[in-house]
Structure 1
Amino acid sequence: MTRRKPPQLPLPTRDGVGPSCVGLSAGPWPTIAEFLIERFPAITRAAWTARIEANDVIDEHGVPVTLARRYQSPLRVYYYRTLEAEAHIPFEEQILFQDDELLVVDKPPFVPVTPTGKYLQQSLLVRLKRKLGLDDLVPMHRIDRSTSGLVLFSVRAATRGAYQAMFPERRIDKHYEAVVPWQEGVSSVPETYRSRLVDDDHFMRVREVPGEPNSETHIAVQEVRDGHALLKLSPVTGRKHQLRVHCQALGMPIVNDPIYPVLLPEGADDFDKPLQLLAKSLSFIDPLTGERRSFTSPRQLLLTPR
């Protein structure tokens, strides 16, 4: 089967950031500029004016949007996302492996994999694009901003689909480690934990409900010391916050978790107390070469955490 070549974007990657896209649906706006100003209220009119006058807003055909250009739909418009102020995250990623197809990176805590919210230049993806000059780089999966450890990236669009297919087909083995509180004679864990997870009232959280399980984790205790245990967690499914919620449900929330059991306010990051959850290893049969590939994070969790 011949794979379709991805469309060429009308704006190039700039400083590690690819263009964002918004679709113009039917509406009452007199100009495209007025639509953008209303659609993205966090961006000031002056900022949109400056972007448009700098030819940094382009339609899908490569035609620049002007301040006077009338609104039309359907049409896709591309622009660069920017942040006026972005806090620096004082931790660096480590590249563990790179070839023509794949990149494996050990991500530090507090760094999001992709741009989100108040993070753009500090996201792992943008950092790597700037550092390596790989404009087509795409993460094959994501781990939470608070979680550290391995992230697998695709380097080339032409072979990306073969690697992406490994995840829904469960042809990739992922193992995590976590530090949790432990009470001798009281704490215990099952070899396998299953539950049904659904979105909570707060968009940041998920919760367990009765019903057919849609999440499954294998659990093994690796070491116990000083009131804490080091767990090996092997997710069979990949639900949002699955490992964090499963540990919480077993009465042993992961140490320094800013979401479970208590959701801390935004901006409450304590760089001295990272979440003790690590994407430790991943392995798979390479769909292109048939070879077994295995990677392990050199990072170690603190069994007696701060």
Structure 2
Amino acid sequence: MPLSNVRILHEDAAVLVVNKPTLLLSVPGRAEDNKDCLITRLQENGYPDALIVHRLDWETSGIILLARDADSHRELSRQFHDRETEKAYTALCWGQPELDSGSINLPLRYDPPTKPRHVVDHELGKHAMTFWRIVERCGDYCRVELTPITGRSHQLRVHMLSIGHPLLGDGLYAHPEALAAYERLCLHASMLSFTHPVSKERMRFECPAPF
């Protein structure tokens, strides 16, 4: 598959920073028809050494960091594990929160009966924390900046749902009005900051949301 609308934001001998479009897997899925993905497209189109460091959901667009050798991959993976990276997401959420900012500290777990959904579970869930801030209020919805402190699956989507403000266009968690309000999931990884594994320079990349 061609790179198509995968945009290269930065490349050097150790790292690759790209803007992943919506409706593209980060890595191959288990099913035979889910082999097309970001890492495969990159490896087949000039970046055979690309190694995935972290992932975004199929419907989530935005910044993804990849390594280009084993040592860089090990160091960048450590930074994510030790929470030395900084991430911010832009989202459109249904409704108008009373406050302009806040934090959500609710444990999450995968819920097999409603696969692939995740749920809040105070007994069996894993610690998850998100900070949110209103950027703009727009009638029935608002534009928010979301900063995840942890990196649980579907964390931002479930956390915003838990306070009554599901993401627009979210086929898994939004109620009918919020789902119909936009033709795609309104979640975009808009900022990523990390320390370069070789130069040790602190690097920051921003990529505006397409919605």
TM-score bin, normalised by smaller chain: 0.7 to 0.9
Matched residue SS, 2:34: coil
Give the counterpart letter for 2:44 in structure 1: R
Distance in 2, matches of 1:213 and 1:138, equals: 27
Amino acid at match of 1:278: H
Question: Which residue matches 2:105?
Answer: 194
Gap runs ≥5 in structure 1? 1-14, 17-89, 264-269, 302-306
Match of 1:205 among 102, 112, 117: 117
Indicate the SS of the match to 1:179: strand
Determine if the alignment matches structure 1 residue 181 to structure 2 residue 94. yes
The residue aligned with 2:28 is: 115
* CA distance, structure 2, for counterparts of residue 288 and residue 214 of structure 1: 32
Moved over 3 A (4+): 186-190
SS at match of 1:110: coil
TM-score of the two chains, using structure 2 as the length reference: 0.88
Q: Percent identity?
A: 29
Q: How does 1:63-82 map to 2 (within 5 A)?
A: none
Name the larger-Rg structure: 1
1:48-78 CA distance string (max 9 Å, x none)? xxxxxxxxxxxxxxxxxxxxxxxxxxxxxxx
User: How many residues matched?
Assistant: 203
Change (3 A) 1:137 1:213: closer
Shift, 1:204, TM fit: 0.3
CA distance in 2, matches of 1:189, 1:144: 27
Report if the CA contact (8 A) 1:194-1:213 is conserved. no
CA distance in 2, matches of 1:182, 1:202: 25
SS of the residue corresponding to residue 152 of structure 1 reads strand
Partner of 1:235: 148
2:70 match = 157
1:196, distance to aligned residue in structure 2 (A): 1.1
Q: 1:21: which partner in 2?
A: none
Q: What code does the residue aligned with 1:129 have?
A: Q
Bigger share in helix: 2
Question: What residue number does 2:201 align with?
Answer: 291
Query: What is the identity, as a one-letter code, of the residue corresponding to 1:125?
Result: I
Shift of 1:189: 6.2
1:290 positional shift: 2.1
Does residue 1:130 correspond to 2:40, yes or no?
no
Q: Check conservation: 1:136, 1:157, Cα contact below 8 A.
A: no
* 1:1-306 correspondence runs (5 A): 92-116=5-29, 117=31, 118-120=33-35, 122-132=36-46, 134-183=47-96, 187-188=98-99, 191-200=102-111, 201-211=113-123, 214-261=127-174, 273-301=183-211
Which one-letter code corresponds to 2:43 in the other structure?
Answer: K
Superposed displacement of residue 158, structure 1 = 3.5
Distance 2:192 2:81 in 1: 15
Contact conserved, 2:101 with 2:134, CA < 8 A, in 1?
no
CA distance in structure 2 between the aligned counterparts of 1:159 and 1:181, rounded to whole angstroms: 40
Aligned partner letter, 1:101:
A
